[in-house]
Amino acid sequence: MGLSAGMVGLPNVGKSTIFNALSSGKAQSANYPFCTIEPNVGIAPVPDQRLHRIDHFMPTAKIIPAVIEVVDIAGLVKGASKGEGLGNQFLANIREVDAILHVVRCFDDDDVIHVDGSVNPIRDIENIELELIFADMDAVSKRLTRIGKRNEPEYKRERVVLERVREFLDAGKWLATQEWSDDERIILRPMFLLSMKPVLFLANLHESNIGEDNPLLDMVKDYAAGHGAAVVPICGRIEEELADLEADEARDFLVELGLVESGLDSLARETYQLLGLQSYFTAGPKEIRAWTVRKGAKAAESAGVIHTDFEKGFIRAEVYTLQDLEDCKTEAEIKARGLMRLEGKEYLVQDGDIMHFRFNV
């Protein structure tokens, strides 16, 4: 799909540790600012038990989950919007992603330095958001100056929208939390405004705080609620340990910790939702696979995710649901009961559809 989420936060909040575990990557992780300079890109699987439920009735040689692309971006400091630290590079990197994974430190540890000398998650969040808002204010001001007082209708419309944007930014408001019409979004899209991006907060906990009351985590949850954003509690150190274990060992470790699933599983699913994505499935003896499409994708477009020829020569889609499979046990029985639907290219694919495509090259 070409969509990605950027992992951001102040230096030393645990971004690279979480990223390493998420992607099983090799991002450098150390106890000093700007450890990450060039952005690291990782591909992380999206856990989906529906794949295994399909496999129960249609045994296969291989199960392939959907994936998300995550970018680990250099830590940000005050003044980034004016080029302080690695500010210019940071802003350029985050402008290229589609959503923000904001890592926030929610633990005290004398052995891990904090760039501001103390742990305060709300201050940390606001420091980063203000830098992004300042960068957007600069971009909007430059654009307004560039179009000046041109009287062409398209520039008049753009000027009205940009003036509204500037009012929100001057008030320190995150643009993604405001209401925008489709026309306004089209006008603003070419500017790649940073505060228009959806946000998911990752509350990085200490291993000793797992499952316990945490006032710092509660602060982040309250703040996120005002953004209409979700919060994923996660312990970077534990997730890094889990990433090094075999599947059975990892499950046992989670049980010992009193956890149903890892924080990374929750993170991957939440990020998938944040990016506006959904999955449909193909199933056969060689593989069962989750294919990623945007919500609202039509059948022909979805077929093109497998191969462009599928979209160009699309004839029809044969569609059924996981519930149909669980009720009927086999595809043959699904067809015998008339539950295998034939859909055209305009069909809106639903999350969890099981599909076969017919096409003519």
**Helix (H/G/I), strand (E/B), else coil: 246:** coil
H helix intervals, 43-118: 50-57, 87-95
With b for 16 or more beta-carbon neighbours within 10 A and e for fewer, the 327-345 pattern comes to: ebeebeebeeeebbbebee
- Homologous superfamily of 4-274 in CATH? P-loop containing nucleotide triphosphate hydrolases (3.40.50.300)
The predicted pLDDT at position 361 comes to 76
Cα–Cα distance for residue pair 264/242, rounded to 1 Å: 10
* Residue 316 near residue 344 (C-beta atoms within 8 A): yes
Considering only the C-alpha atoms of the chain, give the largest distance between any 2 of them, rounded to a whole number of Å.
68
The predicted pLDDT at position 10 comes to 86
The predicted pLDDT at position 16 comes to 82
Q: How many CA atoms lie within 13 A of 229 on its CB side?
A: 27
Residues 202-213 have pLDDT tens digits of 999 988 777 778
- Taking all residues of the chain, what is their mean pLDDT, rounded to a whole number? 86
The predicted pLDDT at position 86 comes to 44
Residue ranges, the chain, pLDDT below 50: 25-38, 80-81, 83-87
Q: Delimit the domains of the chain by residue range.
A: 4-274, 296-359
CATH architecture assigned to 296-359: Roll (3.10)
* Residue 235 near residue 228 (C-beta atoms within 8 A): no
Torsion, Cα of 303, 309, 312, 315 (10° steps): -60
| Identical topology for domains 4-274 and 296-359 | no
Cα–Cα distance for residue pair 102/242, rounded to 1 Å: 22
**Helix (H/G/I), strand (E/B), else coil: 79:** coil
Spatial CA neighbour of 129 closest among 193, 41, 38, 35:
193
Residues 307-348 have pLDDT tens digits of 999 999 999 999 999 999 999 999 999 999 999 999 999 999
